[in-house]
Chain A
Amino acid sequence: DAKTTQPTSMDCAEGRAANLPCNHSTISGNEYVYWYRQIHSQGPQYIIHGLKNNETNEMASLIITEDRKSSTLILPHATLRDTAVYYCIVRVGGATNKLIFGTGTLLAVQP
């Protein structure tokens, strides 16, 4: 699976959009980009995933560059409850589907 690079930490003001970048320059054509988050003392929570096109759901938007070498997770109106570690993972769908979590980005939403 392709390696991902994320900033260690980011701050965001409450009510503003949080833009979390992820670099995956070695991504293969059949690898998806998945985003998860882990709130303190809880299990990770799936947020969104995509292959080529931008995706949006009730939680967030995922913007994937045309060359697919990087992506951005957008939380449109961050709240204090969005404070968490956000993980970007690239993965080929397959029989195992095992997810290897890196260090992620600690997003701190400030009041």
Chain B
Amino acid sequence: SQTIHQWPATLVQPVGSPLSLECTVEGTSNPNLYWYRQAAGRGLQLLFYSVGIGQISSEVPQNLSASRPQDRQFILSSKKLLLSDSGFYLCAWTTKRQAIAFFGQGTRLTVV
């Protein structure tokens, strides 16, 4: 069966520090991968999605970047965190054929 791993579960980082969040999927090949963010009390915002290795589409201009170095690995990065980057970050995957998404457990990032 397919599983999605996302880590760490919680993270506290100072302003100006770098960020790297990793997501891996098991049990499927060639998935579409997604990064979402949910600020406190707000809705889910799609940040990036990828349909294949090295293919990244950005939905919202911001202080973050994404990379997909392997088929089932999706990384969210920042060179210098801002206070406004705090939030709940979620990774998800779908097949190419249907929009049935499976989400990871999320990373709660607090920038201090």
Contacts and interface: CB of A to CB of B under 8 A. Distances in A.
B104 A96 contact: no
Given A102-B43, A103-B43, A104-B43, A97 B105 contact: no
Interface bin, chain B = 20 to 34
Nearest to B45: A101
Contacts of A101: 36, 43-44, 46
Interface stretch (A9-17, A21-29, A44-52, A59-67): A44-52
B49 interface: yes
Nearest to B4: A43
Contacts of B57: 96
A42 B49 CA distance: 20
Interface residues of A, number: 24
Interface of B: 32, 34, 36, 43-44, 46, 49, 51, 57, 59, 88, 90, 92, 94-106, 108
Interface of A: 32, 34, 36, 38, 41-46, 49, 89, 91, 93, 95-104
27 contacts: A32-B98, A34-B99, A36-B101, A41-B106, A41-B108, A43-B105, A43-B106, A44-B90, A44-B92, A44-B101, A49-B99, A49-B100, A91-B99, A93-B97, A95-B32, A95-B96, A97-B32, A97-B95, A98-B46, A98-B49, A98-B99, A99-B34, A99-B46, A99-B94, A102-B43, A103-B43, A104-B43
